[in-house]
Amino acid sequence: MKYIYQQRQWPEFYWEESRIAPLLASVRFKQGRLLGKMEGLGFQLRAEASLQTLTQDVLKSSEIEGEVLDVAQVRSSIARRLGMEVAGLIPSDRHVDGVVDMMLDATQSYTEELTDERLFGWHSALFPTGRSGMYRIVVGAWRNNTKEDPMQVVSGAMGRERVHFQAPDSEALESEMGKFLSWFNSSSDLDPVLKAAVAHLWFVTLHPFDDGNGRIARAITDMLLARADESAQRFYSMSAQIRNERNAYYDILELTQKGALDITGWLDWFLSCLDRATSSTDTTLATVLRKAKFWESPKSHSLNERQKLMLNKLIDGFEGKLNSSKWAKITKCSQDTAIRDIQDLIEKGILEKEAAGGRSTSYALTKQL
């Protein structure tokens, strides 16, 4: 069977307008309603909501590829690069900074052209050591694998990988990426949301790098969605939604790669996924409002940096039970210091002991928070 890029008319995509138009209208309506709601919150809350969304975007885009980043490092890296003064910032390593740099360049400079040099810069940022795991890769250039070592797009754990499709030979990439970038940078009547869907599919099909193609494809998607919103601030995360629907994502990619140039099915899935992404922002917004209310209260004014760090983690959704040992480990302090920090927050009415006591004593935010 031929892959989509082997079709004679490649890359002249087409779709059923009557099936796609209602989906696009629904997405555009929800985007507009969300942006209108955020406009009414004020600058500080919008910035916090955008920080929360960008953090999720970076985390979930990496998770799709099986890589788990530290949430506090990602959040701190983004906040520093945006010049935001937020509580509990910690140092971040250069790998996290590289992923963040790519995403912020895509979303904050969304009006600029996409060039091969810009893509090479993103790729170099993703792999600052020139390695992917234990493998050395070609960084900041198109892949140059041989026909005997084809680029296969796979998902699943080592030993249980599923091959979804095979990308074009490396010798075709110079020409193919030239066509893609020329289309991307050209003006047309195509809605930016539809352009985001087509660009994602097209880039993933080419898979022009040794590694990092999925993350770069999602950065390109976010860049075009920022154009659609006409805003560098992000209030919904397509990557987070794709992470939730990862199996369906790979299924539709595989189906589309082995089909004709009619990409109605892919656009249907992409727009439906984006629709669900915009609908899921209520949770993010609730967390932002809760956090803002707390940090504006008098109770928060005399806290130390360790307490601010841990309270941010608790408000954002701490995984598992919080005890003094975890507090000491995360904040890099002694057990005695951790206990004093916690006791101080209990006296201030911010933390409370959970029901189980003794050696399993754990703590949670009070119900008022």
> Which pLDDT score, from 0 to 100, does residue 369 have?
63
**Nearest 5°: phi and psi at 152?**
-110, 135
The answer to whether the beta carbons of residues 208 and 7 sit under 8 Å apart is: no
Q: Which residue has the higher pLDDT, 5 or 315?
A: 5
Q: For the packed helices 116-126 and 213-229, what is the interaxial angle rounded to 10 degrees?
A: 120
Query: Per-residue confidence at 359, pLDDT binned at 50, 70, 90?
Result: low
pLDDT tens-digit profile of 19-78?
A: 999 999 999 999 999 999 888 878 888 898 899 899 999 999 999 988 999 998 999 999
Tokens representing 295 are 């940090």
Share of the chain above pLDDT 70, in %: 97
> Which pLDDT score, from 0 to 100, does residue 317 have?
76
> Which pLDDT score, from 0 to 100, does residue 217 have?
97
Mean of all residue pLDDT scores within the chain: 91
* Nearest-angstrom CA–CA distance, 53 and 48: 9
> Which pLDDT score, from 0 to 100, does residue 67 have?
92
pLDDT tens-digit profile of 213-238?
A: 999 999 999 999 999 999 999 999 99
Q: Which residue has the higher pLDDT, 83 or 290?
A: 83
* Residues in contact with 284: Cβ distance below 8 Å, sequence separation at least 6, in sequence order: 49, 52, 53, 56, 235
For residue 172, pLDDT over 70 is answered with yes
Give this prediction's pTM.
Answer: 0.82
Tokens representing 241 are 């939604």
> Which pLDDT score, from 0 to 100, does residue 146 have?
84
DSSP-assigned states of every residue in 21-33: HHHHHHHHHHHHH
The answer to whether the beta carbons of residues 199 and 220 sit under 8 Å apart is: yes
pLDDT tens-digit profile of 331-358?
A: 999 999 999 999 999 999 999 998 766 5
> Which pLDDT score, from 0 to 100, does residue 158 have?
63
* Nearest-angstrom CA–CA distance, 49 and 295: 14
Cα–Cα–Cα angle for 218, 156, 273, rounded to 5 degrees: 40
CB-count exposure of residue 122 (10 Å: 0-12, 13-18, 19+): buried
* Residues in contact with 5: Cβ distance below 8 Å, sequence separation at least 6, in sequence order: 11, 168, 176, 205, 206
What's the rounded mean pLDDT across residues 171-190? 95
> Which pLDDT score, from 0 to 100, does residue 159 have?
65
For 152-202, list the strands marked E by DSSP. Answer: 152-155, 162-166
* Residues in contact with 61: Cβ distance below 8 Å, sequence separation at least 6, in sequence order: 99, 103, 214, 215, 218, 219, 239, 243
Domains of the chain, earliest start first:
4-285 (1.10.3290.10), 303-365 (1.10.10.10)
Query: Per-residue confidence at 150, pLDDT binned at 50, 70, 90?
Result: confident
pLDDT tens-digit profile of 250-288?
A: 999 999 999 889 999 999 999 999 999 999 887 777 777
* Nearest-angstrom CA–CA distance, 208 and 168: 9
For residue 123, pLDDT over 80 is answered with yes
> Which pLDDT score, from 0 to 100, does residue 324 have?
93
Query: Per-residue confidence at 298, pLDDT binned at 50, 70, 90?
Result: confident
Query: Per-residue confidence at 241, pLDDT binned at 50, 70, 90?
Result: very high
Q: How far apart are the first and last CA of the chain?
A: 58
